[in-house]
Structure 1
Amino acid sequence: MSYDALLWLSFGGPEGPEDVRPFLENVTRGRGVPPERLDEVEQHYQHFGGVSPINALNRAAIAAVERLVDLPVYFGNRNWHPMVEDTLAEMKEVGIRRALVFPTSAYGGYSACRQYDEDILRARAAVPDAPELVKLRQFFDHPLFIDSFADAVRAAAADFADYRLVFTAHSVPMSADKAAGPPEEGGHRYSRQVLEASRLVAGSVGVSDYDVVWQSRSGPPQVPWLEPDIVDHVEALHDKGVANVVVCPIGFVSDHLEVVWDLDTEARDRAAGLGMGFARAATPNDDPRFAELVAELVAEHLTGAPVRKLSAFPAAGCTVNGAPCAPLCCEPAKRPKH
């Protein structure tokens, strides 16, 4: 099957102070997030001038991928400009008939995978005679993804003779994680994949004892989310006598605001206040291996290149026009009835 383009599909982020509030309202629409929580998160963005790093990082990554694939690459977001609906309309206008889609998340689960399917469905519904879209697979266990993080951990830990390695990923409601994945696979696809990626990176680095924790939770406090939180965990490590901590944001492909605020600001400040050494491993960002990874995923469809992966997990996540890759894959959690 032939393809005319690659659509780079991401979360989006504000690029100026006036963008922050409408961006956050887009992100949280229909989720019942209280206004005071939005006020708090808005200040996180304003701390950095109202600009999230994510759009600039995506553009840099796209430029690197364009040098490796024989396809034009288009950029669309879920929550902020360029919106995916507008990008898909542009693609149609220039004659794109069929495109691959790279979502900037390595994992399964509702927010990490299924919500990108919904983005595709929404965009195609908004554009009459829209191009056909085929979403690429999850890549949390791709050797280039693991190698990039392993080298980043080594670099972060270079100044410590002894340290505790801690992996972090974005927290989700426990009910959503339980629903992520078919029952025959045991559900919990998102957290199990995060655990597996962490195991692979730790093994590459030669660390056998490490922790996996969570960050960036939102939503009503009465709803249980994956725990422990990274800041609480730093305190717990201090209480155990740990002197140095190296944090690897295994759940992120670039330095989102959640990385630079939750880790580089809150967790780092807490560690400093406790007299602990703290280092944060880099995300893939502009690592050339990340662009190579995307090119390999594209080649699986263009040339039938072999699937490269380091775990026994299914190579899930490939969808056509927003249809889920498998029944009960990455289902959203059922909201409680009131």
Structure 2
Amino acid sequence: MSTGIAVLNFGEPSEPDRDAVVDYLERIFLANMEIEGETTPEAARERAHSLAERRVPALIEEYEAIGGSPLNAHAETQAERLESELVARGHDVTTYNGFQFTEPFVEDAATAAAEDGVSNFVGLPLYPLCGPSTTVQALEDLSGAVDDLDWSPEYHEITGWHTHSAYLRLRADAIRNTLEQNGLELGTDTRLVFSAHGTPQYYLEEGSRYAQYVDEYAEIVNRMLGDPGYELGYQNHENRDVEWTEPDVESIVETLDAERVVVDPVSFMHEQSETLSELDLELREEAEERGLGFFRVPVPYDDERFIELLADLVEPFVADFDPEYYGFQSCTCRDSPNAMCLNARRNEPARNE
């Protein structure tokens, strides 16, 4: 049985081309228009265009400062290496890149897999922490694309996997490496700050567990490091009049009582504008203005262990054995019979014995 794996990512323009950046931003704003309340399709498109025009100068400036975003290139390399790893394990597998907001789009991945005639299709979002506008939306786009095609493969979706032990060790080791390379030790003078991608409060009020997952990640990695303590802040994009997750990571750094800060970019498995610009340039500047030494933990996107982790995640769906053997259960965040995750057991209501 041939298997296609749609490796799903956010996507980001690789060059500061204005037209490409405007189109990219319009797609993002339009996809998340529900957070502003009910509206007509025409009004939603006009609003998305207005928001994109407002945001585009600053984003182009960010891309120019970092030399363009490497996100898509990193994602494409990860997909190629995942395919190679699974083939080496003896599986007949092809990976397909699908980006939510840049080409090739999610629906392009489905179309390519259908044209190749794969009989088993797996959606794998490369978002460690399951969120509504990332993991859930990417899989909704993928399943919609499959439904629109004259194609009926065996179909599976993988959602939350931030609690996988290999992933947690990978991230803890990345922090340890940064400390060792810079001769640092976490404590009173050197503080660890987890910086997570923010999300509108609307999604949390609608039932998203994203903030819970961020808290879990931070607490577990902190314990793996020997419980040195930490602060947690969010990278929010307040482009519209809606409330976002709190506290902002900037406010954490502004009030930090320490000499140095070590920042770990939670939520990310690629280097991109949110890490290379928002953290390495903007947050660093704010920290150094306060006299803080600033150290940022690199995203371990090219670590061989990460590719092995991805292969482990999809292998039950490729090798046709019960995913529950690896701890998968029906997802509680994505309402679909095809979706499975590693978070479901902990989200089940407690039973009265």
Q: TM class by shorter-chain length?
A: 0.7 to 0.9
Counterpart code for 2:158: L
Which blocks of at least 5 consecutive residues in structure 2 are unaligned? Answer: 34-46, 345-353
Q: How far, CA to CA, are the matches of 2:62 and 2:144 in structure 1?
A: 29
Say if 1:6 and 1:72, in contact at 8 Å, map to a contact too. yes
Shift of 1:254: 1.6
Per the normalisation by structure 1, the TM-score is 0.83
Q: How far, CA to CA, are the matches of 2:84 and 2:335 in structure 1?
A: 26
Aligned residues: 310
Counterpart code for 2:206: A
Shift of 1:81: 0.9
Counterpart among 280, 283, 286 of residue 264 in structure 1: 280
Q: How does 1:115-194 map to 2 (within 5 A)?
A: 115-129=137-151, 131-158=153-180, 159-161=183-185, 162-181=189-208, 189-194=209-214
Q: How does 1:287-326 map to 2 (within 5 A)?
A: 287-301=303-317, 302=319, 303-304=321-322, 306-307=325-326, 316=331
Q: How does 1:94-109 map to 2 (within 5 A)?
A: 94-109=116-131
Query: Is residue 68 of structure 1 aligned with residue 85 of structure 2?
Result: yes
Counterpart among 246, 251, 256 of residue 267 in structure 2: 251
Shift of 1:89: 1.4
Runs of 4+ with deviation above 6 angstroms: 317-326
Shift of 1:24: 1.8
Say if 1:120 and 1:133, in contact at 8 Å, map to a contact too. no
Shift of 1:54: 0.8
Q: How far, CA to CA, are the matches of 1:227 and 1:261 in structure 2?
A: 20
Q: Which has the higher contact order (CA 8 A, sep 6+)?
A: 1
Q: Residue in 2 aligned with 1:17? A: 16
Per residue, is there more helix in 1 or in 2? 2
Shift of 1:322: 8.6
Q: How far, CA to CA, are the matches of 1:85 and 1:175 in structure 2?
A: 27
Which blocks of at least 5 consecutive residues in structure 1 are unaligned? Answer: 182-188, 330-338
Q: How far, CA to CA, are the matches of 2:302 and 2:168 in structure 1?
A: 15
Q: Cα–Cα, structure 1 residues 141 and 315, in superposed 2: closer, same or farther, change >3 Å?
A: farther
Q: Cα–Cα, structure 1 residues 219 and 122, in superposed 2: closer, same or farther, change >3 Å?
A: farther
Q: How far, CA to CA, are the matches of 1:321 and 1:200 in structure 2?
A: 29
Shift of 1:100: 1.0
Counterpart code for 2:30: R
Counterpart among 61, 65, 79 of residue 47 in structure 1: 65
Q: How far, CA to CA, are the matches of 2:124 and 2:339 in structure 1?
A: 15
Counterpart code for 2:313: L
Counterpart code for 2:97: F
Q: How does 1:190-205 map to 2 (within 5 A)?
A: 190-205=210-225
Counterpart code for 2:290: L
Query: Is residue 26 of structure 1 aligned with residue 48 of structure 2?
Result: no
Q: How far, CA to CA, are the matches of 1:95 and 1:321 in structure 2?
A: 24
What are the superposed Cα offsets for residues 45-83 of structure 1, whole Å, 9 maximum, x if unpaired? 23334x321111112212221222121111111111111
Say if 2:16 and 2:60, in contact at 8 Å, map to a contact too. no
What are the superposed Cα offsets for residues 269-308 of structure 1, whole Å, 9 maximum, x if unpaired? 1112222111111222011111111111112322336326
Counterpart code for 1:300: P
Per the normalisation by structure 2, the TM-score is 0.80
Q: How far, CA to CA, are the matches of 2:146 and 2:273 in structure 1?
A: 29
Counterpart among 75, 81, 91 of residue 58 in structure 1: 75
- Answer with 141-150 or 3-12: which moved more: 3-12
Q: How far, CA to CA, are the matches of 2:84 and 2:340 in structure 1?
A: 29
